[in-house]
Amino acid sequence: MRMKRFLMAAPLALAAVGMFASCSGLSPSKAARIAKDPEAAWDARLAAVHVLSDQTVLAYVAKNDENHYVRLAAALKLDEQHQTTAQAVFADLAKYTPNPNIRRMATEKLTDQTLLADIAKNDEKEGVRIAAIAKLTDIAKNDKNRFIRQEATRKITDPATLADIAKNEKDRMVRYYAILKLTDQALLTDLMQNDPDEYIRKLSRDRLRGVQMRAPNAGGGKVETAKEPTGSQAYRIAKDSKVALGARLAAVKEMTDQTELADVVKNDERDSPVRLAAALKLDEQHQTTAQIAFGDMAKYAKDPNIRRVAIEKLTNPGLLAEIARWGANYADVSMRQLAVNNTHLTDQKLLADIAINDENALIRTAAMKKLTDLTSLTQTLITDMTQNKDGDMRLNAAIRLDALAQATIADQAKNAKFQWTRLRAVEKLNDQATLLDIAKNDQSGEVRAAATLRLNPSHQAAAQAAFADIARTQEDSLIYGPALKRLTDPAVFADLAKNAKSQNVRMDAAKKLADQALLADLAENDPDLGVRYVAAEKLDQQHQALAQAVFADVAKNGDHFSTRRDMVEKLNDQTSLLDIAQNDKHGSVRVAAAKKLDKQHHTVAQSVFANVAKNDPYGWARIAAAENLDEQQQALAQATLADVAKNEKEGPVRLAAGRALNKLYPAAAQAVLADMARNDKDRDTRCEAVRLMTDQTLLADIAKNSEDANVRFATMYRLNDKALLTDFMNNDKSPNVRLAAEQRLDLLKGMERGRKR
């Protein structure tokens, strides 16, 4: 029964699992694996979700997990960029989940007014319906966006809410939608007579008449239907110039009668957004009317937004051509550009004329990009476009007239002032000699790399030599990288391995070598340790003495301790290992070398471990050393690990020391872990210390005296004392701790029942 209550208490369950996850030490990568694993227990997946922040994983879980608690928890953590996914999950849960608590919680997060209205009307549970109604009402009354409030009001059916909005809402259009659904004649009469807004008074009057016409007659007979034609009320509002613009636009949105819409288009003012909105709703049979209106608005409307939409909707090539040219009425360049870009303007002669003669470079470029019949273009066009004073204009023309203007492209690729222009030109350039020149000499690494990639090795014998020359002489990876990838000749790799200027090129070339003599030469003589190491790794058994010498050299002289430590792992030579174990300046390298010493050097190795454990400034090195101390130095090992667990600055290092102590000396570790649980400055470290503990007396003391609810929560899952757990279940001030105690009690009792069976 207690577990059943836990499952029903969804919000508390989610919060409790979240606290459990924070104290369980789950890493994000492990949490991602658990959350996506269908074989994992649902509560483990739920705990993993609370650790996750990876939005891709959360979206996957929200869409695919079979458990509705897990899906809801994942959806609740999705950020603004993933709200489409979140809303889809909330909608699915709100409609189809059997559990009414989950349906209610999902409904509270929904923004889809249509779905909220459906749930408010049809859900079998009163609590879910109330949540949907409350959400709709909240949106309609409080959303900052008036258009959202309007849409929410359109979905509301509750008379009291509609009345409240009609009386108190500030936005006229929100009130409009509320009044359209009112049936309270007394309220409509009051609004008609007393509202300060003339439009609201008229609307209330019209609505009151409609309600009265549909009301039962005095004899209690059948209800009469309205005598007004469909949409006539919206039509009257749209036509009334005294009504506010927003109300007229909303009325057009409601209209469906094409004759009425056409009348608005024909007779409304040219600059009116209402006219444009009506024209956009006309069907195919009324497109002649629409196009006449679009042409009129495109040419003469003063509002640039109306002109812009009208030009985009025009299909008459003649009108588009007129607007595209440079008449006094079309001085706005952006409007003329819209006309040129309109897909219905296709006249090649007209476009060529604009491309040659227009005074504006943007218009010329727009026209030039639409030219398709290049063979019919005159030499005048080619000459004008490729010799224009505007360098970018010349490049655009040259790219468009590619085969006719490679010389212009080459000139721009080599000489244009801006890197972006040169880069675009290189991407269109075919001439291999020019590309090779640019690949070697351009001041921009990005341009040089782009030129290198344009060189064609399958069609030019010189390409391989060019790539080899670039790889041999350049030190910029943006340049030599593409060249190196295109090389295929083994002889070239041998040359590069010995002679390339960049050590990275020599290393990459050495990786492709099989010649043992050459590899041995590189391993012994290259000035760079990295190259020597790469070559040594490829040496065969006959050259292992040389390889070991190289590994020893890198292990002794590498710049970074991690490089030296990695080399130690490849070393077998005891003399070299002994030297490194005794003399390297970094403790972790000395420990790594000492671990590889044979039994004859056991005393030396233990001396190294002891020295590092006592004196090294790095906590990780001290832990590694302590873990390798033998039985005779148990006291030092325990003292070292306890010291690191208490005093190291970094929490992960303290935890590592605690884990190592618990693994090697569990009895001695309990007091150290208890001290960490009580006093460590990091909450996660305190929780993890509790998780490692087994001593029931110490755990009980921590549970009773810790002020941190997170720590008490963690102790609940380690305690075995049922009386103490019962006390926490009934009396702890934290609901999450009480819930954890109850869960632990259920588990212990279940284990007892299992043993009795």
In tens, the pLDDT along 444-477 reads 767 877 787 787 765 555 667 777 777 787 777 7
220: left (phi over 0), alpha (psi -120 to 50) or beta: left
What is the DSSP code (8-state) at residue 223? B
Q: Is 425 in contact with 409 (CB distance < 8 Å)? A: yes
pLDDT digits (tens, 9 = 90+) for 560-577: 787 788 778 888 888 888
- Using DSSP's 3-state secondary structure scheme, residue 216 falls into strand
| pLDDT band of 215, cuts 50, 70, 90 | low
Alpha helix ranges (H) inside 650-695: 651-664, 666-679, 683-692
pLDDT higher than 50, residue 169: yes
What are the DSSP calls for 139-170, one per residue?
HHHH-S-HHHHHHHHHH---HHHHHHHHHH-S
Q: Dig out the tokens for 701 from the structure.
A: 């003391």
Question: 205-244 in b/e burial notation, b at 16+ Cβ within 10 A?
Answer: ebbbebeeeeeeeeeeeeeeeeeeeebebbbebbbeeebb
Alpha-helical runs (H) found in 584-650: 587-595, 602-615, 619-627, 634-647
CB 578 within 8 A of CB 597: yes
Highest mean pLDDT among 162-171, 418-427, 512-521, 730-739: 730-739
Mapping DSSP onto H, E and C, the string for 486-501 reads: HCCCHHHHHHHHHHCC
Who has greater pLDDT, 709 or 552?
709
Q: pLDDT tens for residues 616-626?
A: 888 888 998 88
Q: How confident is the model at residue 391 (pLDDT cuts 50, 70, 90)?
A: low
Full-model pTM: 0.41
Q: What is the largest CA-CA distance in the chain?
A: 118
Which stretch of 540-544, 616-620, 696-700 has the lowest confidence by average pLDDT? Answer: 540-544
pLDDT digits (tens, 9 = 90+) for 109-140: 887 777 877 787 777 887 777 777 667 677 66
CA atoms within 13 A on the CB side of 692: 30
The DSSP output letter for 229 is P
